[in-house]
């Protein structure tokens, strides 16, 4: 009897009735759902590509496999679609293209209540110019939406040995001139994917030459050297092979241009930072 009573008490099928959500909690859930819907809608609208000549799309009509088609938009911005004939799609988003094809099928009495999907397979209408110190400068198509700066640099064959780490991106965003510098080294080696922004049609990417400094005088290997960020005067000396037997660290002079292009002669400490186009002169010891 006691055993039966204990089993009845521990019966997992008996559950407490669910609590009714409070009015405050219900309003909070509705607000979160509304904000989420607005955010996802804005993201989809921002990311949607505008179709143009050369783009490859895949069209499907629900329960009508004979109308499935993968085609390239012509130079006139048109495609030939079964039953309806020529359809002008250039300048439309994929959502707008779906609506237009469905309208033509419905108004032509070809399909009742057509459900059309248009998928962007390959982007060829949008192009970006990649210039400067890359292996193959030129204009390159944006192959997909949300293509990043690093991907366009890779399409151009990558940065040449003389190229720098900074890429200058220029274009327009929301009708306004846009300019941004992207540190490729931070993106590729530092894991800073947030710096690798997306490109847009008509953008220009320019890879400048790597900054250099010059060192001469009493060093083993005088000449021009690539300047890495944060290079100190001591590291610059090391790149030049170090001092000769007659060289001295005392009284080293650095010729540096100011913002107006005037050359100033400075005496730096070994821990000071070398700047672009600095000319370092190592003097001969008087002893």
What digits encode the pLDDT tens for the residues 118-147?
Answer: 998 887 778 899 999 999 999 998 877 788
Per-residue pLDDT at 141: 87
Please tell me the distance from the alpha carbon of residue 18 to that of residue 16, in angstroms, as a whole number: 6
CB 62 within 8 A of CB 115: yes
Residue 267 within any structural domain of the chain: yes
Specify if 156 maps to a domain: yes
Statement to judge: residues 108 and 65 lie in one domain: yes
For the chain, what's the residue count?
A: 287
196: enclosing H helix or E strand: none
Is 200 in the same domain as 153?
yes
Q: How many domains does the chain have?
A: 3
The domain boundary residue, chosen from 180, 209, 238: 209
* pLDDT score of 259: 83
The CATH number of the domain holding residue 101 is 3.30.1950.10
Query: What is the tens place of the pLDDT at every residue in 214-246?
Result: 999 999 999 999 998 889 999 999 999 999 888
Cβ neighbours, 10 Å, residue 51: 24
pLDDT per residue as tens digits for the range 174-226: 889 999 999 998 998 888 889 999 998 889 999 999 999 999 999 999 999 99
Domain boundary residue among 99, 122, 145? 122
In a domain, 116, yes or no: yes
Looking at the structure, do residues 177 and 193 belong to the same domain, yes or no?
A: yes
- The pLDDT of 3-32, averaged and rounded, is 52
Q: Examine residue 197 and state whether it is found in any structural domain, yes or no.
A: yes
Domain that holds residue 164: 127-209
Query: Based on the domain organization, do 203 and 151 belong to the same domain?
Result: yes
Tell me: do 98 and 118 sit in the same domain: yes
Residues 177 and 242 in one domain: no
pTM of the model: 0.59
- Given 188, 209, 230, the domain boundary residue is 209
Residue 204 and residue 147 share a domain: yes
Q: List strands edge to edge, sheet with 56-61.
A: 69-72, 56-61, 116-122
Six-digit token string for 77: 């911005």
CA distance 88 to 130: 31
Name the burial class of residue 219, with classes exposed (0-12), middle (13-18) and buried (19+) by CB atoms within 10 angstroms of its CB. Answer: buried
């Amino acid at each position: 009897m006691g055993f039966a009573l204990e089993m009845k008490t521990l019966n997992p099928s008996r559950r407490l009735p669910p609590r009714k959500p409070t009015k405050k909690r219900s309003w909070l859930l509705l607000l979160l759902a509304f904000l989420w819907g607005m955010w996802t809608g804005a993201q989809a609208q921002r990311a949607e590509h505008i179709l143009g000549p050369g783009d490859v799309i895949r069209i499907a009509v629900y329960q009508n496999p004979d109308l499935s088609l993968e085609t390239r938009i012509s130079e006139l911005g048109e495609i030939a679609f079964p039953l309806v004939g020529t359809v002008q799609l250039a300048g439309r988003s994929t959502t707008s293209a779906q609506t237009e094809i469905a309208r033509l099928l419905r108004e032509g009495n070809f399909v009742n209540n057509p459900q059309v999907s248009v998928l962007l397979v390959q982007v060829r209408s949008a192009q970006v110019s990649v210039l400067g110190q890359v292996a193959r400068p030129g204009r390159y198509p944006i192959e997909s939406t949300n293509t990043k700066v690093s991907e366009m640099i890779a399409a151009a064959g990558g940065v040449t040995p003389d190229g720098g780490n900074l890429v200058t991106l220029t274009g327009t965003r929301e009708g306004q001139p846009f300019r941004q510098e992207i540190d490729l080294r931070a993106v590729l080696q530092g894991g800073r994917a947030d710096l690798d922004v997306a490109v847009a049609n008509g953008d220009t990417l320019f890879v400048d030459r790597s900054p250099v400094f010059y060192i001469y005088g009493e060093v083993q290997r005088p000449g021009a050297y690539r300047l890495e960020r944060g290079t100190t005067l001591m590291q610059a000396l090391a790149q030049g092979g170090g001092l000769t037997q007659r060289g001295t660290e005392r009284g080293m002079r650095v010729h540096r241009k100011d913002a107006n292009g005037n050359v100033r002669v400075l005496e730096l400490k070994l821990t000071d930072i070398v700047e672009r186009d600095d000319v370092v002169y190592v003097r001969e010891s008087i002893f």
